[in-house]
Structure 1
Amino acid sequence: MSDDAIKMPVDVSCILHLLPHRYPFLLVDRVIELEPHARIRVIKNVTYNEPFFQGHFPGRPVMPGVLVIEAMAQAGGLLTQLSTPKDEHKEGQLFYLVKVDNCRFSRMVGPGDQLDMEVKLKRLIRNMALYECCARVDGKTVASAEILCAEGKEA
């Protein structure tokens, strides 16, 4: 996508073209801010209907921290995809989470929360991207991490 073709907000129908994830693993609902090659802000509306709440935990639903990390990684993927000109997108291109550093969880995320995630591109290294990520609910930080993603090799 060229920078001038990106109109905010980017909705889920566009996100489905940019990420390979599908229900129940697509964890980004909307892109609300974008500075190509620099930062992105996305939201995930957390509802009681999420399948993980059945077992995590009965009577005290909490979004698993690993899924908050995954949501931030998906936001990083969107930053990369939205920053890449459309004619440079590779069909079937996949990026994998390869490292998580300095991960901190400070609050629980539950039904009714809106996860507001900001991801900044910290560094590009060949086929890898290092992201600085922060997730908030109601302006309060719930999680933060540095995430490294790498382009998968063709089989």
Structure 2
Amino acid sequence: MSSPHDFDFFFGDWDVAHRRRKDFLDPASEWEEFTAVSRCWSLFGGAANIDEMDCRGEGFMGLTLRLFDHETEDWSLNWSSSRSGKLFPPVFGRFGADSRGEFHGDDAYDGRPVRVRFVWSGISARTAVWEQAFSVDGGRSWLDNWEMRFTRRAACGTL
């Protein structure tokens, strides 16, 4: 059963190793890697949270607002980048009994409509993994295009 405390594991400071395709829809696209730092904090007694990610080496910052819907018991995950200053369309979903979270939504990439999937897995006190995939065929097939591996920071720092 989904809970307003599903993301409690994520509160605090993290080092982040990114791996993403240069072209999110090209399975032959090269992967690029970079690092970031992230901080997540709780709102609404755990039923909402925000994380801010500093990708200084890439020239942008990212922000995710997560909101728990008490009626549906689903989460909405809402992403924004300092490059655009706009919220991307949200993805919706929940965590299963296996502690794996799966979230889906609709967006566009380079003018093409895409189905978006976020997956949270590998969750422990010190680690977590986030993965993004796009589908151009309504979810029948997926292309993984971004992965973030989170490692809890040993000491609190600043972004």
Q: Same fold (TM over 0.5)?
A: no
Select the structure that is richer in strand: 2
Structure number with higher relative contact order (C-alpha < 8 Å, ≥ 6 residues apart): 1
**When the two structures are superposed, what TM-score results if normalisation uses the length of structure 1?**
0.38
**When the two structures are superposed, what TM-score results if normalisation uses the length of structure 2?**
0.37
Select the structure that is richer in helix: 1
